[in-house]
Amino acid sequence: MSVDSKARYQFKRMLEDLASKRGRGTELISVYITPDFEIVKVIQQLRNEQGTAANIKSKTTRKNVISALERIVQFLRTYADTHRRPPSNGMAIFCGNVAGREDIADIKLYWVEPPEQITIRMYRCDQEFVLDPLREMLQVKETVGVLVMDRREATLATLRGKRIDIVRKLTSGVPGKHGKGGQSARRFERLIEIAAHDYAKRVAEAANEIFSQISDLRAVIVGGPGPTKDEFLKSELLQDRVKNKIAGVLDTGYTDEQGVKEVVNKSGEILADLDILKEKSLIQRFMEELVAGRGLATYGEREIRHSLELGAVELLLISEGIRKNRVTAKCQSCGHELQETVEDVEKFKKQLSARECPSCGETRLSLVESKDVVQELLELADQFGAGAEFISTETEEGKQLLIAFKGLAALLRFRPAA
């Protein structure tokens, strides 16, 4: 399984948890530190902010902000004892009173080294943590190739995240229209055809060279005004590995950087459709195997866990909407342990006080462990060499996986023994 799938899921759940925290006032602090910035300088800046925080009118907010700043400073001092600089991708720190009540202070600190480099330095106090710079890192970062062309010129570019890079520009050298008639006109038209074919060959060679070398090429989108782009695609000059990546052809008004931007602005729906088609294909394959009854598809947490442990799972399908935890409770009287899968751990915890132990009948059950079900299954998949794909809840197929199959399904390599 891709390490990225596992890390991406962990990162996403962490952001969801941080997003759920709320302060009573502007007392939740977000600090973003770039990898090249010295920690001692950050500590000094935070000390200065403590002086500014002393002017906050609300006594409770003032106290909580100063306490949170002190907590961050102490954390950074401890970190600096063993690390002179931040991690290679920088770090984000979140701290504040997350109790959600004015009469109670619960100052918590969270920190993370994100999967990509932090490029901004930030200090902010608000009622919620500032998470947008980290959320942007969850966006698909595969490379998209862009080719815009008409009869006069062509521009080749790449799109990765929100970054557009112009890779190469070509001009055609194709002459304009010839006004004279007769043999001279026919000869001139022939020269135009030769020049146009040479131009198309040069564009194809550039596209083949540039796009075929991109290891994470997700798609190629072609744009431009008029019919030139369509004639080019019919010419069979592109290599199959590039041609097979073409996801859409768009009409644009320009063929320079402005034309590339036009394609990028219009490409969102095309790229979303690619994801949807992939998800539809996976769910359709799962349903076909299920109906065929060959035993090469399964669903349900228990069945999938069993198949994973046998090494039978080829691909795990996980709904992005699933939020479940595997909890373990222990009886303080007889030591009996019970395990269940629940959606709300806090609710389960409260119910335990009145719940009888199935072994001795005493009401002395207490929570001893809680694990995220998806995280646990991803670890099993990683251990036994299974793949994993997350399925959105925005398509009918995705909704079907979440509702009908409780968000978990699997395609199998072989039929597991009963």
Question: Strand (E) positions, 4-54?
Answer: 28-33
Last residue of a domain, one of 246, 266, 286: 266
- Pair 399, 318 in one domain: yes
- Pair 101, 84 in one domain: yes
CATH of the domain at 198: 3.30.420.60
Whole-number Å distance between alpha carbons of 47 and 327: 42
pLDDT reading at 271 higher than 80:
no
- Pair 310, 344 in one domain: yes
**Per-residue confidence band for 175, with pLDDT thresholds at 50, 70 and 90:** low
**Where are the alpha helices (H) located in 130-217, listed in sequence order?**
132-135, 182-212
Sign, CA torsion 18/23/25/29: negative
Give the residue, 346 or 402, on which the prediction is more confident. 402
Structural domain count of the chain: 3
- Pair 216, 311 in one domain: no
Segment 8-21 mean pLDDT = 88
Residue 194 φ then ψ, to 5°? -65, -45
CATH of the domain at 15: 3.30.960.10
- Pair 8, 121 in one domain: yes
- Pair 154, 236 in one domain: yes
CATH of the domain at 330: 3.30.1330.30
Segment 241-258 mean pLDDT = 92
- Pair 260, 285 in one domain: no
The pLDDT, as a whole number, for residue 141 is 65
Last residue of a domain, one of 239, 266, 293: 266
Element (H, E) at 376: helix 373-383
Pair 265, 223: CB distance under 8 Å: no
Segment 265-278 mean pLDDT = 78
Element (H, E) at 221: strand 217-224
- Pair 156, 183 in one domain: yes
pLDDT reading at 228 higher than 60:
yes
* CA distance readout (Å), 2 to 46, 74, 381, 383: 39, 36, 10, 12
**Per-residue confidence band for 413, with pLDDT thresholds at 50, 70 and 90:** very high
Residue range of the domain that includes 38: 3-138
The pLDDT, as a whole number, for residue 386 is 92
**Where are the alpha helices (H) located in 20-101, listed in sequence order?**
39-53, 59-82
- Pair 149, 174 in one domain: yes
DSSP-derived secondary structure letter, 366: E
- Pair 278, 418 in one domain: yes
Query: What is this structure's pTM?
Result: 0.64
Q: Which amino acid is at 112?
A: V
Tens digits of residue pLDDT in 181-224: 545 667 767 777 888 889 999 999 999 999 999 988 989 999 99
The pLDDT, as a whole number, for residue 287 is 95
Nearest CA to 149 out of 166, 164, 170 is that of 170
Segment 89-98 mean pLDDT = 94
Last residue of a domain, one of 114, 138, 162: 138
- Pair 189, 241 in one domain: yes
Segment 281-303 mean pLDDT = 93
Query: In a 3-state reduction of DSSP, which class is residue 255?
Result: coil
- Pair 148, 55 in one domain: no
